[in-house]
Amino acid sequence: MPHRTAFFISDGTGITAETFGNAILAQFEAKHRRVRLPFVDDADKAHQAVRQINHVAQVEGKRPLVFLTVVNMEVLEVIKTHCNGMIMDMFGTFVEPLEAELGIKSNHRVGRFSDASKSQAYHDRIEAINYSLAHDDGQSHADLEGSDVILVGVSRSGKTPTSLYLAMQYGVKASNYPLIPEDFERRQLPPALVPHRKKLFGLTIDPMRLSEIRNERRPNSRYASLENCRHEVNEAESMMRRAGVRWLSTTTKSIEEIATTILQEVRPERLEY
C-alpha cells in the first residue's frame, strides 16, 4: 500500500480543502496521513507550510499530496515555487475556465465562511440550531407547528444527531419526538403530534443494531435487550405504517445521508437556493 501524507492547505478555515482532499483520497484504498493547515494567509505562514511539507517529503521519501484552496496570490506563489509535493490546486484548475465562461474576473475572496456571519442564511442556521435544541426529544410542545420537520422514532434511532445536523447545515427547524412504550400500548401517535402529521418523518433501525447501541448506555438492561428492541421497533414501524408516516432505516446510514434523504422528501426546495 502506498502510504503518503496529504496536506489540506487554505488561507481560510481549510474546510473546503479538507472536503476536496478527502473526497479524492476516498477513491483510493490506501491509508494516508492527513494534515489540515488552516489560515495560511501570508508569505511567512506559506514558507512555514512549505518547510513542513518538504520535511515530510524528505523523511518519507515520497511526494506528499497537497490539496490547495488558496486565493491569496502571494501564498500560492510561495507554495507552488518551493514545495516538493504533488499539488492539486482546486481554484487554479476551475476558476480560470470559469472566468472565461462568465466573462468576469474572480475576486480572490478568502474563505467562503469569512463573511457568512452577516448573511440571512447564517442567521437562519443559528436560529434553527436553537429551535432544534429546544425541541429535542419532545422537550417542548410549544410552537411545534414552527417545525420544518418532526422526526419520530424509538429511543436511540438517530433522531437527535439528525435534527441537529439538519439545523446546522441547512437551517432546517427540525424537532424530534420519541415513540415510547406508552404510545405502543395506546397504539396511537403521541397526541401532541396528531395535528402535525404531515410534518412527521420516521427513523427506524435494525433491532440488533439498536440493542448494541442501547447496551453501550445501559448494559444488560431490559431497555437494551434484543427482545425489547425487536418489540419496540416492530410497534413503531406498525404505527408509522398505520399513520401514513414516511420513514427510513438509519442502520447503515451516516447522518449526512439521512439528512440529505429527509431534505429531498420534506423540503426539496431547500436543495435549490
Tell the smallest beta-carbon distance from residue 106 to a copy of itself (Å). Answer: 4
Nearest CB to a copy of itself, comparing residues 98 and 192: 98
Interface stretch with a copy of itself, choices 23-31, 74-82, 175-183, 238-246 (CB under 8 A)? 23-31
DSSP string, 6-22: EEEEESS-SHHHHHHHH
Tell the smallest beta-carbon distance from residue 185 to a copy of itself (Å). Answer: 28
Say if CB 258 and CB 158 are below 8 A apart.
Answer: yes
Say if CB 10 and CB 40 are below 8 A apart.
Answer: yes
- DSSP E strand boundaries for 116-173: 149-153
Binds a copy of itself (CB under 8 A): choice among 51, 55, 77, 108: 108
The conformational region for residue 240 under phi > 0 = left, psi -120 to 50 = alpha, else beta, is alpha
Best CA proximity match to 137, nearest among 174, 93, 182, 90: 174
Binds a copy of itself (CB under 8 A): choice among 29, 145, 182, 185: 29
Interface stretch with a copy of itself, choices 85-93, 180-188, 224-232, 236-244 (CB under 8 A)? 85-93
61 near a copy of itself, judged by CB under 8 A: no
The residue whose grid cell reads 419532545 is 138
Say if CB 192 and CB 138 are below 8 A apart.
Answer: yes
- CB contact burial 245-262 (16+ within 10 A = b; e otherwise): bebbbbeebebeebbbbb
57 near a copy of itself, judged by CB under 8 A: no
Binds a copy of itself (CB under 8 A): choice among 113, 143, 208, 246: 113
80 near a copy of itself, judged by CB under 8 A: no
Binds a copy of itself (CB under 8 A): choice among 88, 144, 180, 243: 88
Nearest CB to a copy of itself, comparing residues 37 and 76: 37
Nearest CB to a copy of itself, comparing residues 185 and 272: 272
Binds a copy of itself (CB under 8 A): choice among 48, 86, 181, 226: 86
- The alpha carbon of residue 99 and the mean position of all alpha carbons in its chain are separated, in whole angstroms, by 30
